[in-house]
Each structure stands twice: as structure tokens, then as C-alpha cells.
């Protein structure tokens, strides 16, 4: 099974999800999304896979959210996606993608939703 994690090593939740994957015997492809952000198309695809709106994926704390005025509810989804592509720190993390789908792993245990049943029972 192919597994990818959009990871920020400075984030404790992201580190925990990576640890849970490894404990399940999975060595994921690690995307350091702050250095290698998803394209606009990739981000739109991820949102669709996770059944989330751009606003739901926006990270507020420790980001330029306020400075950019992203709390303005009149901003379109396209404008929010553009902001996340330009400032990837605005993308909430970690996101894990597998053959079973994609999920924002907050809390970290949500990672089990996209693991094969055998691996998902390792730690639950």
C-alpha cells in the first residue's frame, strides 16, 4: 500500500502520526509541504478526497491568517486555496493519503481511517 504524509517535523501531531505509521510497519513517502507545497490542482484534489472545504483546512495559529484577512467570510474557496498555495503554513497538518483515501489526522489517531485493516488494529 502506498502511503504519503504531508508532514511538518516541527509539529508534534505530525511527528506522532509519522510514528504511528512506522509502528504499523509503513514507511510513508514524506512530503515536507512547507518546502514542497502542493499545487493549486493538488490541493483542490486533496480537499475533494477529504470532503473538506478550503476554510476547514485553513490553519489559523502560527500563520499569517489574520494578517491576510482570511477570516473574511466573503472570500471565495478559490481565494483561500490561492492563499494556502502561496503560504503553505496555512495548510493544517498532517494529511495522510493512502489507497483508502485521504484524511487530516487531527487527532493523530484518525490515521487509522486510511490504513489497511491489519495495520489499523496494531495500536487501537
Query: Which three-class secondary structure string do you get for 52-113?
Result: CCHHHHECCCCCCCCCCCCCCCCCCHHHHHHHHHHCHHHECCCEEEECCEEEECCCHHHHHH
Residue 120 confidence (pLDDT): 54
Domain with 120 in it: what CATH number?
Answer: 3.40.30.10
Residue-number span of the structural domain to which 53 is assigned: 38-91
CB of 102 within 8 A of CB of 96? yes
* Cis preceding-peptide flag for 78 (omega within 30 of 0): no
Pair 24, 45 in one domain: no
Which residue in the list 7, 9, 11, 84 is annotated as catalytic?
11
Number of domains in the chain: 2
Pair 67, 112 in one domain: no
Pair 49, 61 in one domain: yes
Q: What is the pTM of this model?
A: 0.90
Cα of 34 vs its chain's centroid, Å: 11
Bridge partners for 96 per DSSP: 5, 103
Non-local (6+) Cβ contacts of 95 within 8 A are: 5, 6, 46, 50, 102, 103, 104, 105
Mean per-residue pLDDT pooled into runs of 10, the chain (124 residues): 95 97 96 97 97 97 96 98 98 97 97 80 49
105 is catalytic: no
Provide the b/e sequence for 86-104 (b: ≥16 CB within 10 Å).
ebbebbbbbbbbbeeebbb
Pair 46, 79 in one domain: yes
Pair 82, 65 in one domain: yes
Amino acid at each position: 500500500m502506498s502511503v504519503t504524509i504531508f508532514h511538518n517535523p516541527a509539529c508534534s501531531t505530525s511527528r506522532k502520526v509519522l510514528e504511528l505509521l512506522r509502528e504499523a510497519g509503513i514507511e510513508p513517502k514524506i512530503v515536507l509541504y512547507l518546502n514542497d507545497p502542493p499545487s493549486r490542482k493538488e490541493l483542490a484534489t486533496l480537499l475533494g478526497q477529504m470532503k473538506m472545504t478550503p476554510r476547514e483546512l485553513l490553519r489559523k495559529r502560527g500563520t499569517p491568517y489574520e494578517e491576510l484577512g482570511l477570516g473574511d467570510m466573503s472570500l471565495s474557496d478559490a481565494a483561500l486555496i490561492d492563499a494556502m498555495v502561496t503560504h503553505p503554513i496555512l495548510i493544517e497538518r498532517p494529511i495522510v493519503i493512502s489507497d483508502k483515501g485521504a484524511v487530516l489526522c487531527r487527532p493523530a489517531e484518525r490515521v487509522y481511517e486510511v490504513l489497511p485493516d491489519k495495520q489499523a488494529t496494531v495500536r487501537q
